[in-house]
């Protein structure tokens, strides 16, 4: 006998042989047994999943000599003729090559005649979506009210291209993709039929490459079986088809983890020199990262991974976390899209490999946010909310609350001193002066002190509250009264207020002159309205403070510095005429120069 490909040899001949289409098979069998046979069917779904085979089985079930029956015998003359495609009453039409109205007119003429030897005259039209709009319109009346002995079966892979007027006149059946496990079982049966030994790993690879199509799986199986002789293995598939093996990918991924870009690029060059195409390498590496991501999330099914989970690198699974694997997978997917329009695809691959060598340093936005929050808790302490903070490895102090910072960033924070080692967060300068003490002042035989703001163990400078009357009522241990000369008053006040009242001190620092010429008054000239408002707001407090420090009654008068008016520049009429003529503009005028 002549050689027959596996897809043809193993074409389903009964409803029970339809793999993955149990809903379609059950519905058609029940309708035949109940005698409720429609005059038009529409089978839709991806390629190679059994649409045409189902149409032929339905034709045999309706025209079988023992029928109509849900289980055609397959041995009678009608069944054998339908299987061979030679029955005169079961007409198969290719919709892609018969798209015109004339082809449909021929069908309309033929349906007027009853079948020759069968019970029904059945028209099977493949790729029906290829018919023209006029052909569809010509077919509407025929499929809506055909003769009782005529049945139409349409098959299409693009259901959205079929007009709604056709869909509404047919019973629709949506065929599904076949699962990898089911395809693997079908391939194992095919290998047994031809006396070929096949490893499960190789069959899983073929099933995954078929992407749910039975016909694609059988076609690829025939190709693999032709060069594998009597034993199909994954190693033979990898070597013959130019695939990148998981062992090489494990080695490449470990170089990514060690951040050895030179070794990774050298390994890439060896892979491409062995005949692997750039597209195939990217595809295999992308599939490898996807498998690592699935294993990391707890999925170890061989049907999804394509091979055993034990074959993947334990170092990669241990060192790479889920965000880093997602980042690597995203880089490879973008790479596959970019090489289409790249100046040189090899350059794109080299760049991607170099970036993947820094994958272990990648930190997701969520991790950065958590790290900052934990660091803030570490520096501020837990006195406010008494939260329990997890321990960290980058600080040796036992009593300090520690944050859970990722290991790859812990070294960056090791240089910061802990609160136990330093007295202040900014010991070498900053807003807190080296000598931290509570300022005290004496007002009219009553010694008071300004409240001391607590120094937070943080890198954030907290702005103290503005002074109020309650500050002047606080008591402190008695000291000798100290009189400050007027020429030193500004420096002394700024020094004292900079400890606990930064806003007032900043306004006084910005002041340009202090005038004591007017008896009992201090005229303080400030450059901005903001400083003026701050001094006016705290005028009473500053009056008492100045009086206490100098031993005399002083009242401050904040004055805003007068701005010099801008000089008006007269532009000669000649310049204006030139601007209008050449559609220009004057951008500037030098001083002491005329236009």
Residue 514 DSSP code = E
pLDDT of residue 59: 92
Mean pLDDT score, 347-370: 89
pLDDT band at 391 (very low <50, low <70, confident <90, very high): very low
Number of H helices, E strands in the chain: 25, 12
Helical pair 22-34 and 51-63, crossing angle rounded to 10 deg: 20
pLDDT of residue 66: 86
Reply yes or no on whether the pLDDT at 242 is more than 90: no
pLDDT band at 573 (very low <50, low <70, confident <90, very high): confident
151 CB-contact burial (10 Å; exposed 0-12 / middle 13-18 / buried 19+): buried
Contact 212, 244 (CB under 8 A): no
Rounded to two decimals, the pTM is 0.58
Tell me what percent of the residues of the chain surpass a pLDDT of 70: 80
Contact 569, 547 (CB under 8 A): no
Two tokens, residue 584: 């220009």
Distance CA 55, CA 12 (A): 11
pLDDT of residue 422: 40
The answer to which of 158-162, 358-362, 530-534 has the lowest mean pLDDT is: 530-534
Cα-based distances in Å from 43 to 29, 83, 129, 162, 167? 15, 19, 11, 11, 10
Residue 549 φ then ψ, to 5° = -75, -35
Contact 328, 232 (CB under 8 A): no
Residue 443 φ then ψ, to 5° = -115, 110
Mean pLDDT score, 266-272: 90
pLDDT in tens, 75-98: 889 999 998 888 889 999 988 888
pLDDT of residue 460: 39
pLDDT band at 239 (very low <50, low <70, confident <90, very high): confident
Query: Which residue would you say has higher pLDDT here, 104 or 479?
Result: 104
CA 503-509-511 angle, to 5 degrees, is: 110
pLDDT of residue 528: 84
Mean pLDDT score, 563-589: 73
Strand partners, 556: 522
Contact 305, 208 (CB under 8 A): no
pLDDT in tens, 10-23: 999 999 989 989 89
Mean pLDDT score, 452-470: 43
The answer to which of 144-158, 180-194, 455-469 has the lowest mean pLDDT is: 455-469
Two tokens, residue 16: 């029970």
Reply yes or no on whether the pLDDT at 443 is more than 50: no
Reply yes or no on whether the pLDDT at 514 is more than 50: yes
Reply yes or no on whether the pLDDT at 548 is more than 90: no
Best mean pLDDT range from 165-179, 483-497, 566-580: 165-179
Two tokens, residue 480: 């000798």
Distance CA 75, CA 198 (A): 33
DSSP state string for 355-382: HHTTGGG---HHHHHHHHHHHHHHHH-S
Two tokens, residue 196: 């070929």
Burial 540-561 (b: 16+ CB within 10 A, else e): ebbebbbbbbbeeebebebbee
pLDDT of residue 463: 40
521-526, strands of its sheet edge to edge:
513-515, 521-526, 555-560
pLDDT of residue 417: 45
Two tokens, residue 411: 């070294």
pLDDT band at 566 (very low <50, low <70, confident <90, very high): low
Two tokens, residue 352: 């991607």
pLDDT in tens, 420-441: 444 444 444 444 444 444 444 4
Query: Which residue would you say has higher pLDDT here, 446 or 104?
Result: 104
Two tokens, residue 223: 């190709």
pLDDT of residue 498: 77
pLDDT of residue 568: 67
pLDDT band at 595 (very low <50, low <70, confident <90, very high): very low
Distance CA 170, CA 188 (A): 37
Q: Which candidate, 34, 61, 22, 32, places its Cα nearest to that of 173?
A: 22
Residues 6 or more apart whose CB falls under 8 angstroms from that of 268 comprise: 252, 281, 349, 350, 353
pLDDT band at 29 (very low <50, low <70, confident <90, very high): very high
Burial 100-139 (b: 16+ CB within 10 A, else e): ebebbeebeeebeeebeebebbbbbbbbbbbbeeebbebb
Strand partners, 476: none
Residue 131 DSSP code = S
Mean pLDDT score, 506-519: 81
pLDDT in tens, 403-423: 455 555 555 445 444 444 444
Mean pLDDT score, 104-133: 90
Q: Residue 87, Cα to own-chain centre: how many angstroms?
A: 55
pLDDT of residue 508: 85
pLDDT in tens, 275-297: 888 998 999 899 999 999 999 99
pLDDT in tens, 304-345: 887 778 888 889 898 898 999 999 999 999 999 999 888 899
pLDDT band at 243 (very low <50, low <70, confident <90, very high): confident
Pairing of strands 446-449, 440-443: antiparallel
Two tokens, residue 462: 């907290």
pLDDT band at 386 (very low <50, low <70, confident <90, very high): very low
Residues 6 or more apart whose CB falls under 8 angstroms from that of 108 comprise: 138, 142
Mean pLDDT score, 228-248: 85
Reply yes or no on whether the pLDDT at 100 is more than 50: yes
Contact 377, 365 (CB under 8 A): no
Tell me what percent of the residues of the chain surpass a pLDDT of 90: 28
DSSP state string for 439-472: -EEEETTEEEEPPPPPPPSSSSPPPPPPP-GGGG
Pairing of strands 90-94, 150-156: unpaired
pLDDT of residue 442: 47
pLDDT band at 370 (very low <50, low <70, confident <90, very high): confident
Query: Which residue would you say has higher pLDDT here, 389 or 515?
Result: 515
Mean pLDDT score, 541-570: 77
CA 38-11-231 angle, to 5 degrees, is: 155
The continuous run of DSSP H or E covering 238 comes out as helix 234-241
pLDDT of residue 403: 45
Two tokens, residue 147: 């003769």
pLDDT of residue 352: 93
62 CB-contact burial (10 Å; exposed 0-12 / middle 13-18 / buried 19+): buried
The owner of tokens 């076609």 is 219
pLDDT of residue 357: 92
Residue 149 φ then ψ, to 5° = -100, 5
Distance CA 32, CA 61 (A): 8
pLDDT of residue 473: 45
Query: Which value, to the nearest 10 degrees, does the dihedral of the CA atoms of residues 481, 485, 488, 489 take?
Result: 70
Distance CA 442, CA 549 (A): 7
The answer to which of 209-223, 228-242, 439-453 has the lowest mean pLDDT is: 439-453
């Amino acid at each position: 006998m002549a050689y027959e490909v596996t897809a043809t040899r193993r074409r389903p001949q009964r409803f029970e042989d339809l793999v993955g289409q149990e809903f379609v098979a059950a519905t058609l069998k029940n309708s035949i047994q109940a005698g409720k046979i429609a005059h038009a069917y529409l089978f839709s779904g991806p390629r190679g999943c059994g649409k045409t085979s189902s149409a032929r089985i339905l034709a045999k079930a309706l025209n079988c000599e023992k029928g109509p029956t849900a289980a055609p015998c397959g041995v009678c003359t009608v069944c054998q003729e339908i299987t061979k495609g030679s029955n005169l009453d079961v007409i198969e039409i290719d919709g892609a090559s018969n798209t015109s109205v004339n082809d449909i007119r021929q069908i309309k003429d033929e349906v007027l005649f009853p079948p020759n030897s069968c019970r029904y005259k059945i028209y099977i039209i493949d790729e029906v979506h290829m018919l023209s709009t006029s052909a569809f319109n010509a077919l509407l009346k025929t499929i809506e009210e055909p003769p009782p002995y005529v049945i139409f079966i349409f098959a299409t892979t693009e259901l959205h291209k079929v007009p709604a007027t056709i869909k509404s006149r047919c019973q629709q059946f949506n065929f599904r993709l076949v699962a990898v496990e089911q395809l693997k079982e079908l391939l194992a049966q095919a290998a047994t039929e031809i006396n070929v030994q096949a490893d499960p790993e190789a069959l899983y690879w073929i099933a995954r490459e078929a992407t749910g199509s039975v016909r694609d799986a059988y076609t690829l199986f025939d190709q693999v079986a032709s060069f594998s002789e009597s034993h199909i293995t994954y190693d033979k598939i990898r070597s013959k088809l130019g695939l990148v093996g998981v062992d090489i990918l494990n080695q490449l991924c470990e170089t990514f983890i060690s951040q050895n870009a030179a070794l990774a690029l050298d390994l890439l060059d060896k892979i491409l020199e062995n005949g692997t195409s750039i597209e195939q390498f990217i595809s295999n590496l992308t599939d490898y990262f996807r498998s690592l991501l699935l294993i990391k999330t707890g999925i170890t099914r061989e049907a999804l991974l394509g091979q055993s989970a034990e074959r993947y690198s334990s170092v990669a699974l241990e060192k790479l976390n889920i965000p880093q694997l997602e980042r690597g997978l995203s880089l490879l997917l973008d790479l596959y899209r970019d090489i289409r329009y790249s100046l040189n695809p090899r350059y794109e691959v080299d760049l991607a490999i170099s970036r993947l060598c820094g994958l272990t340093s990648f930190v997701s936005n969520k991790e950065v946010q958590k790290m900052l929050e934990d660091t803030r808790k570490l520096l501020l302490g837990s006195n406010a909310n008494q939260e329990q903070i997890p321990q960290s490895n980058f600080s040796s102090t036992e009593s300090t609350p520690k944050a859970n910072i990722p290991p790859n960033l812990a070294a960056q924070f090791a240089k910061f001193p802990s609160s136990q080692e330093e007295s202040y967060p900014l010991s070498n300068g900053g807003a807190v002066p080296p000598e931290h003490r509570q300022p005290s002042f004496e007002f009219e035989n009553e010694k008071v002190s300004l409240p001391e703001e607590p120094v937070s163990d943080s890198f954030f400078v907290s702005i103290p509250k503005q002074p109020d009357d309650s500050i002047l009522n606080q008591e402190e241990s008695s000291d000798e009264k100290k009189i400050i000369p007027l020429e030193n008053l500004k420096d002394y006040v700024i020094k004292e207020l900079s400890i606990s009242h930064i806003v007032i001190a900043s306004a006084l620092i910005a002041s340009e002159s202090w005038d004591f010429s007017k008896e009992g008054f201090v005229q303080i000239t400030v450059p901005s309205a903001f400083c003026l408002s701050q001094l006016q707001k705290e005028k009473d407090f500053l009056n008492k403070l100045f009086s206490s420090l100098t031993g005399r009654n002083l009242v401050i008068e904040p004055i805003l510095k007068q701005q010099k008016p801008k000089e008006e520049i007269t532009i000669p009429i000649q310049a204006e005429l030139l601007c209008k003529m050449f559609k220009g503009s004057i951008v500037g005028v030098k001083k002491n120069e005329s236009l």
